Structure formats: C-alpha cells, structure tokens
Structure 1
C-alpha cells in the first residue's frame, strides 16, 4: 500500500493495549484489525462500517435480541 499505515486503537482499549480494535484510513476505505492478529486485516467502506456499527448498537447481532436475521 505504499506509505506506512497509521493504526489508531479504540479509546476503549485497556492500558496494556492487548486485544484492541485498530483502524487505519486509506483512500476510499478503512482497514480494521485486532492488535493481537495484525496480519489479518478487514477492508470496508466508511458507509459499510457505519452500517455495521449501527447494527451492533441496535442489537441486530444479539442472540436473544435483534431481528433474528443471521
């Protein structure tokens, strides 16, 4: 990807910094990884990530709550 990526950790990460969600921005998309598995990276558009976050906040992925769609 050319230039070195600048990964940002979640503000909810603990002081030790292990098992954190990290995000880096590149033109047209966001890259997401877990700090304990830095070689595995998910790429998503900003709109797709916003949709995922909205679904999580709405409980769509809860086993007992949500819409039941899987």
Structure 2
C-alpha cells in the first residue's frame, strides 16, 4: 500500500512539511508522479516508511551513554 505525504505525516505524528523535506533530501524512499516541470504527486510505500522509522529507532542498547558535564555542580 502507498501512502500520501499527509497520511505518512499523520501516521508518524509529524508535519507534512517535514515529510516533504525527508523526500527532498532523499532520506525517505518515495515515488514522484509528475510531468516535466511539475511537482506532481508523492507516494510513499508503507514498507519504506517502516524501514525509515527503524533506522532512527533508539533503544537502551544503541543509545549513547550519558555525558557528564564537569562545569555543572551536582
């Protein structure tokens, strides 16, 4: 199933402009259907959205260790 930019944004809880930015920067796999010189329509495969989200998943195993700042008294 393919999602529109608005559907993908709604599913992730972000703005459509952020999804457009990810597409523009080629971070999110998508299809663009348009004539030359036109913006056209962007469709995002459902599985591509899932893969995109997995790339940014932070878990206790992958999270960086906390940094202690020396100039802050505790």
TM-score norm. by structure 1 comes to 0.28
Larger radius of gyration: 2
* Structure with more relative contact order (C-alpha pairs < 8 Å, separation 6 or more): 2
- The structure with the largest strand share of the pair is 1
TM-score norm. by structure 2 comes to 0.27
